[in-house]
């Protein structure tokens, strides 16, 4: 179950970073959102193993 919510959060983070207009998000904020997305994708199997 942990894998599903973390992967879902990863998808939402990536879509939010990609879908918002360039003027709304600064480059640094968009980069941090993409970093969070990748971190969630990597940590999903670890979180599932701990669950």
What is the model's pLDDT at position 36? Answer: 81
What is the model's pLDDT at position 42? Answer: 83
- Digit-coded pLDDT (tens) for 1-51: 556 776 777 778 777 777 777 777 677 877 887 788 788 778 877 877 776
Residues whose CB is less than 8 angstroms from the CB of residue 11 and which lie 6 or more positions away in sequence, other chains included = 37
What is the model's pLDDT at position 33? Answer: 78
What is the model's pLDDT at position 45? Answer: 78
What is the model's pLDDT at position 1? Answer: 55
């Amino acid at each position: 179950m942990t894998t599903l919510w973390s992967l879902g959060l990863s998808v939402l983070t990536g879509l939010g970073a990609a879908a918002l207009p360039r003027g709304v998000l600064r480059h640094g904020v968009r980069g941090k959102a993409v970093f969070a997305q990748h971190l969630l994708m990597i940590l999903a199997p670890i979180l599932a193993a701990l669950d």
